[in-house]
Amino acid sequence: MNQMDKNAPLFGLVLAGGASTRMQRDKAALAYAGKPQLLRACELLQAVCAQTFISVRADQTDDPVRAALPQIVDRPGGHGPIAGIHAAQAQHPQAAWLILACDLPYLDGETLAHLIAQRDPVRLATAYRSSHDGMPEPLCAIYEPHGHAALVGYIEGGGRCPRKFLMGADVSLLAQPKPRALDNINTVAEYDEATRSFSEAAAGERSIQVRYHAILREQAGRSEEHLNTAAATPAALFEELRARHPFALGREQLRVAVNAEFAEWSAPLRDGDVVVFIPPVAGG
C-alpha cells in the first residue's frame, strides 16, 4: 500500500461479456421496466464512479446494447469475468475498480454506497460476503490498484475464478446491508420473478378492502373500508390501520384472513384483496 492507492480514483466496470448460456439470450439486454440491465448497471456506477466502462469481448463491440457505452475490450486469450478485470486494470493502472456483474437487478445505490464507504484501500479488495454461502462476492467489489500483480499472478497460474482469487487474497469482507441485493439472474424463471416483483413495486399502491368484525368493528367505527395502500403484507396493513383506529388488540392477538381464507401475516397483498382481521373468537 502506498500513498497513491489511498488517492486512487474509483472507476466503474460493468461486466457485459458473458455468454448467458443458461438464459439463452443476451443477459446485458434483458430489460426491467423497459431498460436493459446493462444500462441500469452503468447508471448505478456513473452515480458513484469517476469514470464508468463496460467490459466486452472483441466480437461484441458493435452490438447495439453495447456500442454506445465506453468499452474496455478483453485482451486476446482472455476468458470470463477475470479477463475483464485484468483488462481494466491494465488499461487504467492508477484506478481502483468497482467491478459489477450486469445481471444484478436487485442491486441498489445504497448497497454500492455502503461498499464504497467501507472501502479499505490497504487491503487488496473490498467485497461483500454472500448472504447465501458466506463467500466473497467478486462481482460487486472494489479492486485496489496494488492488487494487480497478484491478479496477474493468479491468472498466469491458470486461475480463472474471481471468487477463488478473492478467497486467497487479503480482502475486506462486508455484510450485505440488503441480503437480496446481490442475487443474480441466470434463468428465465428468475428473470420472470424479478420482473414481477418490480412491476408490483412500481405499482406502489394496492386497492384493498378491509372488513371489520366484533370489537374491531366497534373500535374502527365501521364494518368495512376501501383503501389504497403501499402496505405489502397484512402485517404492514394492520400497523397502518392501527395508527388510524384505536385498536386495543395487538397483532399477536389477532389472526388475519385474505380473500376468505386464513393467511400468514407476511403473505403478499395484491390489488383487490379483501382482508379481515380476526379478533380472539368465542363461539359456542
Partner 1 sequence: MQGLFRFCDVDFDPAALRAELIDPAAGGYVAFEGWVRNHNEGQAVTRLEYEAYAELAVKEGERILAEASQRFPLLRAACVHRLGELEIGGLAVWVGVSAAHRDEAFAACRYIIDEVKHRVPIWKKEYYVSGDSGWVNCERCAHGTTPGADHRTHPVR
Nearer of residues 202 and 260 to partner 1, judged by Cβ: 260
CA–CA distance, 276 with 177 (Å, rounded to integer): 34
253 touching partner 1, by CB under 8 A: yes
CB 210 within 8 A of CB 164: no
CB 28 within 8 A of CB 66: yes
Within positions 262 to 281, which residues make up the interface with partner 1, using CB under 8 A?
262, 276, 278-281
**What amino acid is encoded at 123 in this protein?**
R
260 touching partner 1, by CB under 8 A: yes
For partner 1, the binding residue among 129, 178, 213, 251 (CB under 8 A) is 213
CB 13 within 8 A of CB 82: no
Q: Residue 263: helix, strand or coil by DSSP?
A: strand
Compute the least distance from the CB of residue 206 to partner 1, in Å. 21
**Angle CA 180–69–182, to nearest 5:** 10
| Beta partners for residue 101, in sequence order | 15
Compute the least distance from the CB of residue 231 to partner 1, in Å. 21
246 touching partner 1, by CB under 8 A: no
Nearer of residues 150 and 274 to partner 1, judged by Cβ: 274
Within positions 72 to 91, which residues make up the interface with partner 1, using CB under 8 A?
none
CA–CA distance, 80 with 175 (Å, rounded to integer): 26
CB 243 within 8 A of CB 258: no
Stretch that binds partner 1, among 7-15, 16-24, 144-152, 212-220 (CB under 8 A): 212-220
Q: How many amino acids of this chain bind partner 1 (CB under 8 A)? A: 21
Compute the least distance from the CB of residue 71 to partner 1, in Å. 58
For partner 1, the binding residue among 255, 266, 268, 272 (CB under 8 A) is 255
202 touching partner 1, by CB under 8 A: no
Closest by CA position to 100, among listed 154, 153, 191, 39: 39
**Number of alpha carbons in the 13 Å side-chain half-sphere of residue 250:** 1
221 touching partner 1, by CB under 8 A: no
Q: Where on the chain is the footprint of partner 1 (CB under 8 A)?
A: 211, 213-215, 248-249, 253-255, 257, 260-262, 276, 278-284
